[in-house]
Chains A and B, each alone.
Chain A
Amino acid sequence: MRSFTYERANTPVEAAAAVARVPGAKFIAGGTNLLDLMKLQIEAPTHLVDVNGLKLDTIEPTPEGGLRIGALVRNTDLAADERVRRDYGVLSRALLAGASGQLRNQATTAGNLLQRTRCPYFYDTAQPCNKREPGSGCSAIDGFSRQLGIIGVSDACIAINPSDMAVAMRALDATVETVRPDSTTRTIPIAEFHRLPGDTPHLETTLEPGELITAVSLPPHLGGRQIYRKVRDRASYAFALVSVAAVIQRDGTGRVAVGGVAHKPWRVEAAEADLPRGPRVVTEQLLASAKPTHDNAFKVMLVERTLGAVISEARS
């Protein structure tokens, strides 16, 4: 860990400005991802701006009938919120499927969206990795890639976004609200928030330097059966091999987003029309351009079978 300076910001704009001002500065929220990466010197910020005191930790109804979740709301609190449990069950379930109780107590909504990949080569600073060190190469493509991406991958990087929460938010069409150092604000649809790796796998989101997430908004609730199915090698405390977030209505129509397959939560709206026809046709469209490796080819079938299980659960 390199030495760094630290400050507590008082307002969101101040925080954004502070990060923009100091080269190499970063926000710190729960610290559950950032600190681990700093200890391994995968991240080496020069300055940390602590956003925990910004009072962005409430969940409020929106005039449109949705919910606005403050960026600092802890994963535990979000999962337990009565409105979330009632109207956005898929989100609550996705959160509870992630990490452990202790981590969820500390992890924040914004931090969760911005958690970095779990590619094992990313974690070993002696190995080439384009995401950690642009231009150094990708060790995973011909290496151990069982956990990694099958779609939207590039020749530079096949890493995945490991967040469970984000997959549910993608199914719900959440929007990310931000403030920039010049105090302008904007909202980014979740579909446009995470990037595909392309030639720049080190750029993971469309946030600009210093741009601070202030909230995530959920549109009015959709009803339907809301299911989050996370498939993993052990029963708890493991990242997903594949996950499916689904909102399925009585008539069999609905939405699905898939985790564990790409650099972002994966959703193909056009495929959803075929949900009543069963998992195969939907998966064929969802994963039409899939480019799995030898190690992770099984994920294609796993997505289809998991989706099948989710659809039958919704019907039952």
Chain B
Amino acid sequence: MRFDTPATTSPIDQLKVVGQPTDRIDGPYKTTGTAPYAYERHDVVPGQAYGFVLGSGIAKGRITAMHLEEAKTAPGVLAIVTTLDMPRLERGMMNAAYLFGGPVIQHYHQAIAVVVAETFEQARAAAYLIRVDYQPEAGKFDLAAEALNAPLVGDDSGEGSSGPPEVRVGDFEGAFAAAAVTLDESYTTPDESHAMMEPHATIAAWHGDRLTLWTSNQMIAWSKRSIAKILGIPAENVRLDSPYIGGGFGAKLFIRADAVLAALAAKAAHRPVKLALTRPLIANNTTHRPATIQRIRIGANRDGTITAIAHESTSGNLAEGKLETAVSQTRLLYAGANRLMAMRLAPLDLPEGNAMRAPGEAPGMMALEVAMDEMAEKLGLDPVQFRILNDTQVDPENRDRRFSHRDLVGCLRLGAERFGWDKRTPKPAHVRDGHWLVGAGVAVGFRNNLLTKSAARVRLDHEGVVTVETDMTDIGTGSYTIIAQTAAEMMGVALDKVAVRLGDSAFPASAGSGGQWGANNATAGVYAACVKLREAVTQQLGFNAADAVFSDGEVRSGNRSVALAEAASAGELVAEDLIEYGDLAKTHQQSTFAAHFVEVGVDAATGEVRVRRMLAVCAAGRILNPKSARSQVIGAMTMGVGAALMEELVVDKRRGFFVNHDLAGYEVPVHADIPHQEVIFLDEVDPMSSPMKAKGVAELGICGVGAAVANAVYNATGVRVRDYPLTLDKLINRLPEAV
């Protein structure tokens, strides 16, 4: 089905099932420990041996020798595959780092060997017996130092935010010089880790030259092609299966070392092999969100109208890596006739930087929305009003191109009202509650909506059960549930008459989970397949397709009504289709919007920041399931608090690695850090997005949160911190005198 004109009315608009706050279908499996995650799939293939991955102990250089004698004779060892056994393997799609093979070390904890043994403990013990001789080389590990010479580079995050090296509209320098009020500040965001709960894990088994990977992966179709490329085998010989994923946040968009090494290990051991990356390997062996250094300049008239806006960002990566597209939201968020956006990429020898929840926008908004707060203060304007004043309904770089639907102002107004924004004391450091300095902050959330093709197959059996098959993944997001809701609505059946099967590369290729594109595109694909199935049903039952109504397990037309199951009485009906898009996303800018309001307390003595309450008002088209959407947004808000207050992969600039590479050193918020969170969705639809009229929310939820926290800290203390995370050491020497 090609979607190239705005959606009109469809069975989805009945909203009998879609749009309802249904419980997650997979919830009971997860809470009872019966959801089969990759590492626990003991039943899929017999004789599983255990693999343990060894990471490089240096950041850059070469391996000159590996001494395996002791490891080979250790108890239980079945096979050892080392990086010296083969030339460097091809890079996978969208990987910046090479995952295995050859003596060259590109980054710390790069995989250099896998040991296979009868038990996990044996594999681990033997791996520690491998001695490695290295020839280290000096590397570049300091972004600030390299930023000085970093070239302009344009790119695309792979997740929808992008930009050429430089964008110029009007005359930024002239307008900025002439502006009545100006701001010119720099901000930094650190490297961050996805820190999802389930580590990267894979079971691999070969049957002749055919490989099956039971794994934990967000993008099945990409990853199938990618592993085939890395291993040099035909893609049709590979099957990936990933029905449950314990979080990804972008860490599992791509094939990583777990899948490659499980496959190599299984081949070498002539046994199925399971392995997981240990927690200490995840920070340096896999991907992370790259650090940024950002400069923002804003010029405005005295009345607050922005006349000039510039956002420049520098990030670093391995030579073949992408940049963090931290300026892309600034191209679209606020009006202003004179504009400059630029991105620079510094070559670094740290591990691979790649997509993490809202790549580009998340760190970009952390800077932009603090700059907006600073500018509002300079102008003597309320920060909510300042943003409303500079709202735009058109793409500021191309004023003929409108937003498909944009109600950012609605988010800000409703949020301000619900939060009690008018009770905030604008003057910083003026509200005390016991030993807490209390403040409130606001920031806007913005994230683009991406359209990408997505296919599904639907089956109807003689009992009236509708089964959906697509390689779409559920990474804890609720895909199972919204897909079931879509099929139930389309086929006029109750939810318990729908079965959803996901994550298998044998199923039609979907959008996958990334870039907050999963929900809208995957359900639109299921919609398309259901349209076909409805046609097959009406044909089978001899109804006129145009006026047949699918409802309550029946198909009705005029006064004739037949059970849906009847259509499959002579055999299962199967329909498959995909949604693909025309140029509505080109003719119109599709984005999602939010307003985040946060209240914090800052301990007057110690500078500890604790969030007291949070509110997000989101405008993201039709909300397919308010319950799972809310879960997505509160999870994202929580991650935003982490980014604001504590998350940082600390770079050892001498040795070239992330030092705090476990969950004791890399702190993320715990329950005690997260207070009352409220989420409101504006009641809206976006007919340009798809037949579902929905957009994504999962990344929108994190965008702007960090800045709202930072702005609240400023309001509480009068201390402006421009380097994330806002840990107490950055506040303490500037806090008001303790009493």
| CB neighbors of B among A219-254 (8 A) | 231-239, 241
**B16 sits at the interface (CB 8 A):** no
Q: Is the CB of B645 within 8 A of A234?
A: yes
- Of B606, B607, B662, B738, which is in contact with the most chain A CB atoms at under 10 Å from its CB? B606
Q: How far is the CA of A139 from the CA of B57 in the complex (A)?
A: 14
**A146 sits at the interface (CB 8 A):** yes
Q: Is the CB of B652 within 8 A of A143?
A: yes
Q: Is the CB of A144 within 8 A of B125?
A: no
**A207 sits at the interface (CB 8 A):** no
Chain A contact-residue range equals 35 or more
Segment of A59-67, A123-131, A268-276, A283-291 engaged in the interface with chain B = A123-131
**B665 sits at the interface (CB 8 A):** yes
- Residue from the list A39, A120, A127, A298 in contact with B660, Cβ < 8 A: A120
- Residue from the list B604, B645, B660, B729 in contact with A144, Cβ < 8 A: B660
- Residue from the list B605, B670, B729 in contact with A146, Cβ < 8 A: B729
**A31 sits at the interface (CB 8 A):** no
Q: How far is the CA of A3 from the CA of B128 in the complex (A)?
A: 12
Per DSSP, chain B at the interface is loop
**B144 sits at the interface (CB 8 A):** no
Q: B723-738 vs A: 1/0 string, CB under 8 Å?
A: 0000111001100001
Residues of B close to A39: CB separation below 8 A: 124
| Nearest CB of chain B from residue A163's CB, rounded to whole Å | 15
Contact status of A234 and B646, CB under 8 A, knowing A144-B660, A298-B729: yes
Per DSSP, chain A at the interface is loop
Find the A residue at minimum CB distance from B604: A309
**B654 sits at the interface (CB 8 A):** yes
Q: How far is the CA of A48 from the CA of B280 in the complex (A)?
A: 26
- Residue from the list B58, B124, B662 in contact with A123, Cβ < 8 A: B662
Q: Is the CB of B738 within 8 A of A305?
A: yes
Q: How far is the CA of A238 from the CA of B738 in the complex (A)?
A: 25
Residues of A close to B659: CB separation below 8 A: 120-121, 124, 143-144
Residues of A close to B676: CB separation below 8 A: none
Q: Is the CB of A236 within 8 A of B672?
A: yes
**B417 sits at the interface (CB 8 A):** no
Find the A residue at minimum CB distance from B727: A233
| Nearest CB of chain B from residue A211's CB, rounded to whole Å | 29
| CB neighbors of B among A186-242 (8 A) | 231-239, 241
Residues of B close to A143: CB separation below 8 A: 652, 654-655, 659
**B671 sits at the interface (CB 8 A):** yes
Residues of B close to A238: CB separation below 8 A: 667
- Residue from the list B57, B605, B670 in contact with A234, Cβ < 8 A: B670
Find the B residue at minimum CB distance from A232: B608
Find the B residue at minimum CB distance from A229: B606
Residues of A close to B652: CB separation below 8 A: 139, 143-144
| CB neighbors of A among B354-380 (8 A) | none
Q: Is the CB of B650 within 8 A of A144?
A: yes
**B669 sits at the interface (CB 8 A):** yes
Residues of B close to A233: CB separation below 8 A: 608, 645-646, 667, 727-728
Q: How far is the CA of A143 from the CA of B665 in the complex (A)?
A: 15
Q: How far is the CA of A174 from the CA of B664 in the complex (A)?
A: 29
Q: Is the CB of A235 within 8 A of B606?
A: no
| Nearest CB of chain A from residue B736's CB, rounded to whole Å | 11
Q: Is the CB of A298 within 8 A of B672?
A: no
| Nearest CB of chain B from residue A179's CB, rounded to whole Å | 33
Q: Is the CB of B673 within 8 A of A234?
A: yes
- Residue from the list A118, A231, A312 in contact with B606, Cβ < 8 A: A231
Q: How far is the CA of A41 from the CA of B54 in the complex (A)?
A: 13
- Residue from the list A1, A123, A309 in contact with B605, Cβ < 8 A: A309
Chain B contact-residue range equals 35 or more
Residues of B close to A125: CB separation below 8 A: 128
**A22 sits at the interface (CB 8 A):** no
| Nearest CB of chain A from residue B665's CB, rounded to whole Å | 5
**A134 sits at the interface (CB 8 A):** no
Residues of B close to A123: CB separation below 8 A: 280, 662, 665
- Residue from the list B58, B125, B728, B732 in contact with A1, Cβ < 8 A: B125
- Residue from the list A144, A232, A305 in contact with B732, Cβ < 8 A: A305
| Nearest CB of chain A from residue B140's CB, rounded to whole Å | 17
- Residue from the list B654, B662, B670 in contact with A236, Cβ < 8 A: B670
Q: How far is the CA of A126 from the CA of B728 in the complex (A)?
A: 31
Q: A101-139 vs B: 1/0 string, CB under 8 Å?
A: 000000000000000001011011111000000000001
Contact status of A41 and B128, CB under 8 A, knowing A121-B659, A234-B672, A306-B606: yes
Residues of B close to A281: CB separation below 8 A: none
Q: Is the CB of B672 within 8 A of A235?
A: yes
Contact status of A231 and B654, CB under 8 A, knowing A1-B124, A308-B605, A309-B435: no
Q: Is the CB of A142 within 8 A of B654?
A: yes
Q: How far is the CA of A127 from the CA of B128 in the complex (A)?
A: 14
Q: How far is the CA of A123 from the CA of B652 in the complex (A)?
A: 15
Q: Is the CB of B733 within 8 A of A298?
A: yes
Q: A298-314 vs B: 1/0 string, CB under 8 Å?
A: 10011001101100100
Q: Is the CB of A1 within 8 A of B606?
A: no
| Nearest CB of chain A from residue B602's CB, rounded to whole Å | 12
Q: Is the CB of A120 within 8 A of B125?
A: no
Q: How far is the CA of A305 from the CA of B608 in the complex (A)?
A: 12
Q: B603-636 vs A: 1/0 string, CB under 8 Å?
A: 1111110100000000000000000000000000
| Nearest CB of chain B from residue A316's CB, rounded to whole Å | 10
Q: How far is the CA of A2 from the CA of B662 in the complex (A)?
A: 22
| Nearest CB of chain A from residue B430's CB, rounded to whole Å | 20
Residues of A close to B608: CB separation below 8 A: 231-233
Q: Is the CB of A302 within 8 A of B673?
A: no
Q: How far is the CA of A144 from the CA of B660 in the complex (A)?
A: 9
Residues of A close to B672: CB separation below 8 A: 234-237
Q: Is the CB of A124 within 8 A of B732?
A: no
Find the A residue at minimum CB distance from B284: A124
| Nearest CB of chain B from residue A186's CB, rounded to whole Å | 34
Find the A residue at minimum CB distance from B122: A3
| Nearest CB of chain A from residue B726's CB, rounded to whole Å | 10
Q: How far is the CA of A65 from the CA of B671 in the complex (A)?
A: 40
| Nearest CB of chain B from residue A65's CB, rounded to whole Å | 35
Q: Is the CB of B662 within 8 A of A234?
A: no
Find the B residue at minimum CB distance from A41: B128
| Nearest CB of chain B from residue A261's CB, rounded to whole Å | 14
Find the B residue at minimum CB distance from A100: B670
| Nearest CB of chain A from residue B353's CB, rounded to whole Å | 19
Q: Is the CB of B671 within 8 A of A241?
A: no
| CB neighbors of A among B48-82 (8 A) | 57-58, 75
Residues of A close to B588: CB separation below 8 A: none
**B720 sits at the interface (CB 8 A):** no
Q: How far is the CA of A22 from the CA of B111 in the complex (A)?
A: 37
| CB neighbors of A among B564-585 (8 A) | none
Q: Is the CB of A127 within 8 A of B125?
A: no
Find the A residue at minimum CB distance from B74: A3
Residues of B close to A41: CB separation below 8 A: 125, 128
Residues of A close to B603: CB separation below 8 A: 309
- Residue from the list B75, B662, B733 in contact with A3, Cβ < 8 A: B75
| Nearest CB of chain B from residue A55's CB, rounded to whole Å | 31
Q: How far is the CA of A241 from the CA of B667 in the complex (A)?
A: 13
Contact status of A302 and B728, CB under 8 A, knowing A144-B659, A309-B435, A309-B738: yes
Q: Is the CB of A126 within 8 A of B665?
A: no
- Residue from the list A124, A308, A312 in contact with B280, Cβ < 8 A: A124
| Nearest CB of chain A from residue B672's CB, rounded to whole Å | 4
Q: Is the CB of B664 within 8 A of A302?
A: no
Residues of A close to B58: CB separation below 8 A: 126
Q: How far is the CA of A223 from the CA of B728 in the complex (A)?
A: 33
Find the A residue at minimum CB distance from B675: A235
Residues of A close to B729: CB separation below 8 A: 146, 298, 302
Task: Supply 9 A–B pairs (Cβ within 8 Å), ascending by A.
Answer: A120-B660, A120-B665, A143-B659, A144-B650, A234-B667, A236-B673, A241-B728, A298-B729, A309-B605
Additional pairs, 4, CB under 8 Å, beyond known A123-B662, A306-B605 = A40-B280, A232-B608, A298-B728, A298-B733
The 9 closest A-B pairs by CB, nearest first: A126-B57, A309-B605, A235-B672, A298-B729, A236-B672, A144-B659, A305-B605, A231-B606, A235-B673
